[in-house]
Amino acid sequence: MTVDHPADLVLLGGSVATMDAARRFTSALAVRSGRIVAVGPDAEVRAHIGPSTRVIELRGRTVTPGFQDAHVHPVHGGMAKLRCELHEDRLSGVPYDLVAAYVASHPDEAWIRGGGWYMAAFEGGTPRREDLDRIVPDRPAFLTNRDGHGAWVNSKALELAGITADTPDPADGRIERDPDGTPSGTLHEGAMALVARLMPDDTPAELEEALRLGQRYLHELGITAWQDAIVEPHMEERAYVALASSGELTGRVVGAMWWEHDRGAEQIEEFVERRRATTIGRYAPTSVKLMMDGVLENYTGAMLEPYEDGHGRQTDNRGLLQIDPDGLASWVPALDALGFQPHFHAIGDRAVRASLDAVAAARRANGPSDTRPHIAHIQVIHPDDITRFRELGVAANAQPLWAAHEAQMDVLTIPFLGERWRWQYPFRALRAAGAVVAMGSDWSVSSANPLWEMHIAVERKNPTWLGGATEVFLPDERLDLIDALAGFTAASAYVNHLDQDTGTLEVGKLADLAVLDRDLFDRGTGEIGDVGVVGTFIEGEAVFEGSDLGG
């Protein structure tokens, strides 16, 4: 038996993880005109093969819906690839060699810019200017750390910015100093701007090239859609508008427009106008990013109770809410009423609670809505707040890579939380309470590899190649692999409002899919974090193809 209209593409003999409501697995799939026309056993799908159909023999390998990253910064990540890139330093060591290589190969760059260094590689998390001076004595150097909340600078950069022992700390940041007040080479938070404002702006051409690189990298990792977690008008938005207009934007992108902390409700009408003017092709800025607090490692995450001092004693520091909660109680309902999705960054339990309270205010004002608010990072959640995610219809947006014992956690975080360290990244508790758990990488803060992230979501420890087996981090919070996979497919598609057309492999949906290099669910084939991607398709068109895909 054959069908009247043969497929363009048929995949046979695999393990197709449909991620449909029943979480059905089957072996084959057929695509015509960008949409899935059959999903089922080989015998049934073979009927769709015609003379010009491309047929890929999967030989037992897994096909999943294209991965969707619910919180990522591809323009920033791509820009890092254009500059001094330290993120790929998997061994978490001091990156002197990488910096030296970049300096040597870029003799004409006026500034040495880049980043991705790992705080735990340096004593106290704060690298020193002398160490950078030895590699870059004659040009200013500015290298941000992996989470972007601090920068390592050399003496030349401090000199150009006029930062000396007499320079006061800015209100929103801190200059790391020696005991005599001399700047030692690390700038925290707002203090980074003292140097960054001197650097040349990213040009439109650089921003576009950064997005091209970022997009290519995400496609190589099986990612077909994402939510860009910070979109600003002169930065990311420029790149998306350019590539969406020229047809180069192959990924489906939801933009989260940045809420400026020093402004109020007046920016909401600008969001409405930007949404109208820049929704083009596969790009739609329908989300608004509300950065509620900082991070725990430098005590800027907002906590309900104070941080400890590392020796079991309480301090008087509860961190800082960066957005006024009283303002939020009117702004979030207003955004929700206009159809914008609130996308919160919340690390500390006070920031998580303030985010949930803001959505509660929206529900009271507007009733139920379909804006699908989500809270990214959710590092510390007070146990009383776990059930509120389902009750309020707030999705948890997890970055599973961070839920493991490693130096940043064990040295820079746990000693300052005390017993609350057990409230961290409670992914299984959220699932058990009925919350939608979507996932994202926060690349370039951490790796964008969804298989590595799923590995840690399931194992709560690093893959063997990242330093061997360590103690499991809060073993009760380990997720099942199927839920971790849902986090990067169906659940992130839901958060991205792309679930009508993507996120599962079902007849009628768009053929956005990833082909893995083995059977993901056969755990006899090695660690989840070692699984690779051999092909990525969007509407049936290959956007990445490894040499061993076949067909």
Contacts with Zn ion, residue ranges (CB under 5 A): 229, 442
Query: Toward Zn ion, which CB reaches closer, 14 or 251?
Result: 251
139's tokens? 């040009």
DSSP 8-state class, residue 467: T
Minimum CB separation of residue 298 from Zn ion in Å reads 16
Minimum CB separation of residue 526 from Zn ion in Å reads 30
**C-alpha to C-alpha distances, 330 to 83, 268, 291, 394, 478, nearest whole angstrom:** 41, 11, 16, 18, 37
Query: Toward Zn ion, which CB reaches closer, 274 or 345?
Result: 345
Query: Toward Zn ion, which CB reaches closer, 149 or 188?
Result: 149
Look up tokens 């600078």; give the residue: 153
Minimum CB separation of residue 535 from Zn ion in Å reads 28
Minimum CB separation of residue 375 from Zn ion in Å reads 12
Minimum CB separation of residue 410 from Zn ion in Å reads 23
Query: Toward Zn ion, which CB reaches closer, 449 or 504?
Result: 449
Question: What span, in angstroms and rounded, lies between the C-alpha atoms of 445 and 460?
Answer: 19
Structural contact between residues 461 and 404, judged by C-beta atoms closer than 8 angstroms: yes
Query: Toward Zn ion, which CB reaches closer, 184 or 496?
Result: 496
Paired residues of 513 in beta bridges: 65, 537
Query: Toward Zn ion, which CB reaches closer, 394 or 538?
Result: 394
Structural contact between residues 91 and 117, judged by C-beta atoms closer than 8 angstroms: no
Three-class DSSP labels, 53-110: CEEEECCCCEEEECEEEEEECHHHHHHHHHCEECCCCCCCCCCHHHHHHHHHHCCCCC
Query: Toward Zn ion, which CB reaches closer, 49 or 438?
Result: 438
On the question of a cis peptide bond just before residue 447, with omega within 30 degrees of 0, the verdict is: no
Minimum CB separation of residue 443 from Zn ion in Å reads 9
Minimum CB separation of residue 409 from Zn ion in Å reads 18
CA 221 from chain center: how many Å? 13
Question: What span, in angstroms and rounded, lies between the C-alpha atoms of 214 and 77?
Answer: 6
Helix (H) or strand (E) holding 202: none
Query: Toward Zn ion, which CB reaches closer, 154 or 227?
Result: 227
Minimum CB separation of residue 288 from Zn ion in Å reads 14
Minimum CB separation of residue 444 from Zn ion in Å reads 9
- Detail the DSSP E strand segments found in 241-340: 252-258, 283-291
Minimum CB separation of residue 77 from Zn ion in Å reads 11
Question: What span, in angstroms and rounded, lies between the C-alpha atoms of 520 and 58?
Answer: 13
Minimum CB separation of residue 231 from Zn ion in Å reads 12
Query: Toward Zn ion, which CB reaches closer, 347 or 359?
Result: 347
Structural contact between residues 437 and 398, judged by C-beta atoms closer than 8 angstroms: yes
Comparing CA positions, the residue from 439, 359, 348, 337 lying closest to residue 396 is 439
Query: Toward Zn ion, which CB reaches closer, 229 or 495?
Result: 229
CA 512 from chain center: how many Å? 20
Query: Toward Zn ion, which CB reaches closer, 343 or 518?
Result: 343
385's tokens? 């707040």
On the question of a cis peptide bond just before residue 15, with omega within 30 degrees of 0, the verdict is: no
Question: What span, in angstroms and rounded, lies between the C-alpha atoms of 185 and 191?
Answer: 11
Structural contact between residues 395 and 490, judged by C-beta atoms closer than 8 angstroms: no
